[in-house]
A and B are shown apart, each in its own frame.
Chain A
Amino acid sequence: MAKIEKQIVYNVLMALAFLVLVLKLFHLQVYEHHKYFQYSEKNRIRRLVLQPTRGLIYDQSGNVLVDNQPSYTLYAVPYECSKNDSATALLAKILKSSQSEIKAKLKKREGPFAPVRIRRDVDFETRVEIEERKLELPGFFFNVEPRRLYPAGINAAHLFGYLGQISRSELLNRKSHALQQGDLVGKKGLEKVYDNFLRGQIGYNYIEVDALGREVEDVTFPGEHRPRPGNDFYLTIDLRLQRLAEDLFKDKKGGLVLINVRDGGVLSLCSKPDYNPDLFTKRISGESWRRLVNDPDRPLYDRMIQSVFPPGSTFKLVLAAAGLETHKCTPSTTSVCNGFLRLGRRSFKCWKLSGHGKMDLLDAIKHSCNVYFYRLSLKVGVDTWADFARKFGFGKPTGIDLLGESAGLVPDTKYLDKIYGKGGWTKGLLLNLGIGQGDLLVTPLQMAQFAMIMANSGKYYQPHLVHKMYDRTAEKMIYFTPREEKVSGVSQKTFSILREGMYKVVNEAGGTGRASWLPDVTVAGKTGTAQNPHGESHAWFIGFAPYDNPQIAICVFVENGGGGGAHAAPIAGKIFRAYFDNLKLSGAIAKR
């Protein structure tokens, strides 16, 4: 039968192929067994995970803000030491830890041969002691892993954030399996927002070690696969201005936001009290952690983006814009201030009890007269006012590249009805909102964005912290283009009136913001003093400069600082001074 013949041919060929496999198997497993057994038993190959160096963070002119330094992590191979009681006891003594803790760590493992992390960031003395007694500690070894370093001498802790061990839920939701239990990931701030870019890619090192754990040279095995460092980030932050801002707020609560109005880049973002980010690079003790968390001044909180406050008189500009756009007032609309306004049975005071007298709109902005704006708010009405507040970016997050940003609160009829019940609130509430008090809440960052809107007459950019990133994979710089926006429904004419008011606040006698005045650069601004039922008022100042061709906008906020003109405006003046001096300096250097 032909088929039977074919079957024989087929099976002979198949048998030959199988024979090749069997012969090769015999060659490896019997003939060369000894050699390969040596590789696998006597000389162990250890696969070390090489942690990539995290991307660096620079300021806009290339100063290193966040760097890395080597630190030593103690590892152990469970197979070689978990049953060695004298070794674990000795190690516990050296590390000033308990033997049971070390044993527990040796049990958490992926396999008896996969190295387990015992202690991160072992200090020099301990390291020397362990190395000296290496023969008594088989299976333990060190691996160099990078740790964060902050060389610039600034805190900016809320910007950078910090790293921490990956949590169980983060481990479950991880995108890449390169992340392992015990790895460090960004927990807050930029470290968290850009964690995937900053982290880089792990590498491996395959080293051979003998029975005593000493490294053995062998070329049979490919050496290491270097980790790829994380991407470097260049921030919009200006180190000098950030340092100055932190100095100016050294003993104060509050902070400031300084924005480049030409692209929305944040030049300085300072929130005090803060903490030293270096605290988190070491093993943070339970006590110092508790102290941070329980501090009544809440240093972990970023006041510039997470906290909300009533904005005080700075918000009169919003009301003025609403009034002008809805034709409820013109620049020449005048009103007389006697120091108070009577509404029903209640009397609403102006901050100047003797009264401002007869004033037009610009004077009212300059002197920050309450009575003028009480009257205007009655004409405008709460919902129109709230519409305009939203047009200027209030009531929603700015979208800055930090986490936990608050939206603030812009109350309207619907909201007030919900809180106080329909008809449960009076027009008095409206008067308070008009001068930036009451239920209205904003973040200092929103106020800085508002200052940028004023500077650019309606055009603004999403506030952001990252200017560019060096992509290690593509080996090129990637620029982050800011989103450009425009305030709709507010005319250029209105902006020019408001800006003129802001000019008078700083530059004319009797203006509330005189303390931010500079001789050579024209500053414009608006002060605010937000009443605080729990204590001293909060001081506000928003402004921009130069008036004719603005470059920067600022919001200064001093918590419980008192009057805005006296306590916030001078800080803005100093920051403006430093900015323009730096500019002149670098201009002069460039000329030379």
Chain B
Amino acid sequence: MYDSIKNAKIDWVLVITLLLLLIYGLVTVYSATYTSDQAHLYNNFSKQILWVLSGLIVCAVITLMPTSWLYSITPGLYSFFIILLLLLEFIPHSGGTTSRWFQLGSIQIQPSEFMKPVMVLALARFLSKENHSPGKINNLFFVFLLILFPFVLVLKQPDLGTSLAFIILTIPMLYWRGLSGFVIFIICAPLVSFVAAFNFWSFFFAIILISAALLYYHRGAIVFWLFFALNISVGILAPVFWGKLHSYQQQRILTFLGLVSDPHGVGYQIIQSKVAIGSGGFLGKGLLHGTQTQLRFLPAQHTDFIFSVLAEEWGFIGSLVVLVTFFIFLYRSTQIAAHTQNLFSSLLTIGAVTIFAFQVFVNIGMTLGIMPVTGLPLPFISYGGSSMISSMILAGLILNTAVRRFVY
């Protein structure tokens, strides 16, 4: 009954925002790879069109697929991609290529990208079982195991951004399934303080947010001050601990985490990106008129730093439009997740939304210089086949839920 597509209703808000995002992406990729005579760069644009079209097909197929199918293929998919990641680890990779890729003929496939929807499916399947309430420690432990393998394998590639996405993904899904907000908060807050402590203002904001949350939970003055003190001390100790390390150790950790993979220095990328965005101004410089973009000052301007191109050429207004479109898409998805009757579908949607929100925040934050440089692409907009298909699969999961929800 639930699986039947007869009562299907297309959710136009989702479809239109999704199409808009894809159009922004294509226009920006066109500008970012535009050259007057060098055809090999031009090819990127036509390839991207191909990726978008195949992505739309994949998305449609997943949308129309009975949800029960998705449910039953999940364990197989999970094992398959874990094996792929293991293979990447053991196949000797020859000169230049990192172990993030599989070379299949002329195209490269990045299994860690596909691991994102697979993780969403796996967690949703596990948590949707009736007796799998996350309040029980056994269940929490199993969830931990589920994310542990992909996390470690992807972190080793090294791809910090994607591996963190797996962890970030888990928290809202647990929350959605009923893990108490306070428990999640207690676990996450010190981590947030630790990371935020490297910048005064981010730490300041983090502590204010943490205090606000503590007040919200009404656990009494003792809990409040104890926890407040804990977070402050974590914040103070983090830079001290970091400073104790030798510079080569810091460098090694940063390199291991993939934070300094750029030969020209991370600082350079951020500065160029900020100059591009800042010089765009309120209205932007117009398509193909971004001087920073056309000068190719921007590193990875059609992949990781595509937002800088967009912001330079379309200005604050254009950037705002993109962010608002993303927000509408994600907001609408959470609405659907809240209203759907099927727990598995609901969890799927929340997982997908989380992945998108995380990537949007980390990627755009990176171009603005408030997030570290990790290799996370901007969904639907960055150039790249694996990322596009993976995002379209996630969108398909959301739409699969959307067309089957009961009208409310």
Contact = CB atoms under 8 A, between A and B. Distances in A.
A115 B34 CA distance: 16
A205 B361 CA distance: 32
A478 interface: no
Contacts of B327: 14-15, 18
Given A21-B323, A29-B319, A10 B279 contact: no
B282 A109 contact: no
A37 interface: yes
Given A11-B331, A24-B370, A33 B295 contact: no
B373 interface: no
Interface in A11-47: 11, 14-15, 17-18, 20-22, 24-26, 28-30, 32-33, 35-37, 39-41, 44-45, 47
B265 A222 contact: yes
A6 B176 contact: yes
A7 B175 CA distance: 10
Nearest to B291: A40
Contact of B277 (A25, A41, A110): A25
A303 B361 CA distance: 67
A584 interface: no
A181 B407 CA distance: 61
Contact of B275 (A6, A36, A47): A36
A7 B265 contact: no
Interface residues of A, number: 47
Contact of B316 (A25, A40, A44): A25
- Main SS at interface, chain A: helix
Interface string B77-107: 0000000000000000000000000000000
B264 A225 contact: yes
A4 interface: yes
B320 A39 contact: no
A438 B339 CA distance: 95
B181 A36 contact: no
Interface stretch (B124-132, B143-151, B154-162, B266-274): B266-274
Nearest to A24: B368
B279 A41 contact: yes
A110 B296 contact: yes
Contacts of A15: 327
B35 A14 contact: no
Given A28-B368, A204-B264, A113 B294 contact: yes
A28 B277 contact: yes
A110 B265 contact: no
* Interface range for B: 35 or more
Given A6-B175, A7-B338, A41-B291, A107 B36 contact: yes
Contacts of A29: 277-278, 280-282, 311, 315-316, 319
Nearest to A109: B36
A108 B178 CA distance: 62
A9 interface: yes
A110 B41 CA distance: 10
Contact of B294 (A26, A108, A111): A111
Nearest to A10: B334
Interface in A79-119: 107-114
B323 A47 contact: no
Interface string B320-345: 10010011001100110111000000
B335 A37 contact: no
8 contacts: A33-B281, A36-B279, A39-B278, A39-B279, A113-B291, A113-B294, A220-B271, A222-B264
List 4 A-B pairs, minimum CB-CB distance, nearest first. Answer: A36-B278, A113-B295, A40-B279, A7-B338
Interface of B: 34-38, 172, 175-176, 178, 181, 263-265, 267-268, 271, 274-282, 291-292, 294-297, 311, 315-316, 319-320, 323, 326-327, 330-331, 334-335, 337-339, 346, 350, 357, 360-361, 364-365, 368-370
Given A9-B175, A111-B34, 13 more contacts: A18-B323, A18-B360, A21-B368, A22-B320, A25-B323, A26-B316, A33-B280, A41-B291, A110-B38, A113-B296, A206-B268, A221-B271, A222-B268
